[in-house]
Amino acid sequence: MKILITGVSGLLGVNLAQEAMIENEVIGVDRGKLTSAPYNILKLDLLNPGAVDSALDSARPNWLINCAALADLDACENTPYLARLMNTELPAQLAKACKTRGILFAHISTDAVFDGQKEGFYTEEDIPIPLGVYSQTKLAGEQAVLAENQNAIVARVNFYGWSLSGKRSLAEFFHHNLTHNKSMSGFTDVIFCPMLVNDTARTLLKMLKNELEGLYHLVGPQAMSKYQFGVEIARKFSLKESEVSPKSILSSNLTARRSHNLWLSVNKLSTDLGESLPEFSTGLNEFFTQYQQGYPQKIRGYQL
């Protein structure tokens, strides 16, 4: 298959391209960060007039996976117009253009569309209540995509992994600070379902191969607090878990509001794929092995 990946220099994009290129032809859309990637790059700003049509007509892919987004929560609060362009209007354009051309389309959304007030887990049937500009524009993007293209996949995700900058994921944040003997705090009252980004990528490819469509929760099957996640990172890398201190998000000074509970059920996706999603321990083991084998340096070399 020929796969076009937008936002290919992001945390998901670069790891997705790495997984997809094993069995497929990959073309990435990037504004210029990647100069030495082992796959073709279209240097485009998709917000420019005509850029979406130009990218699709040039690449002529079988599948398109949209990883492009404004994902910095505080940046979204400060620039809501840009957040709407990136998170709502662009996905709608891509969905429509793919439908017109018969291209299978997958759009990446977020677990943050929920306000976190529910007891227990959220399913795809639960009504989202977004708290801030980021989650509001991402939810609007979901709705716009499915309105334009009913055959599209919309995947709500939460992932961690190695990035081009080394600063894009919570796991990197914990690892970097703990390896430099810097104490860290982790929220005890924020629950989420982290998945190794490579597992996210491989599952996305399976979803497209199986021609799934509609809304899915694509997160890890195990819920935990941000504090527990930090402790697990410390343990795996033989760092001082005592340097990770518990903290309440209520005492933080973050600009954008965060949800306390983002425990998402993955039953629908595992049922439709006919297999269980990868366990947290499996992903963490791979994350550690990647570090040992120089994977972070390998993908960062794509910028040279």
Residue with tokens 């990959």: 26
Average pLDDT for 140-145: 98
Predicted model pTM: 0.95
Question: What confidence score (pLDDT) does residue 259 get?
Answer: 81
Residue type at position 94: L
Average pLDDT score over the chain:
94
Least confident segment among 62-76, 100-114, 244-258: 244-258
CA distances from 303 to 25, 55, 86, 197 (A): 20, 21, 23, 19
Residues 6+ apart with CB under 8 A from 258: 73, 112, 116, 131, 190, 249
Residue carrying the six token digits 């801030």: 132
For residue 127, what are the CA distances in angstroms to 16, 66, 209, 219, 220?
29, 23, 28, 18, 21
Quote the DSSP letter at residue 261: B
Give the other-Cβ count within 10 Å of 116's Cβ: 20
Per-residue pLDDT for 24 more than 80?
yes
Report the pLDDT value the prediction gives residue 159, as an integer from 0 to 100: 97
Query: What count of other Cβ atoms lies within 10 Å of the Cβ of residue 142?
Result: 22
Q: Which CATH number fits domain 2-303: 3.40.50.720, 3.40.50.150, 3.30.390.30, 3.30.70.1560?
A: 3.40.50.720
Instruction: Grade residue 252 by pLDDT with cuts at 50, 70 and 90.
Output: low
Contact (CB, 8 A) for 29 and 7: yes
| Domain regions of the chain by residue span | 2-303
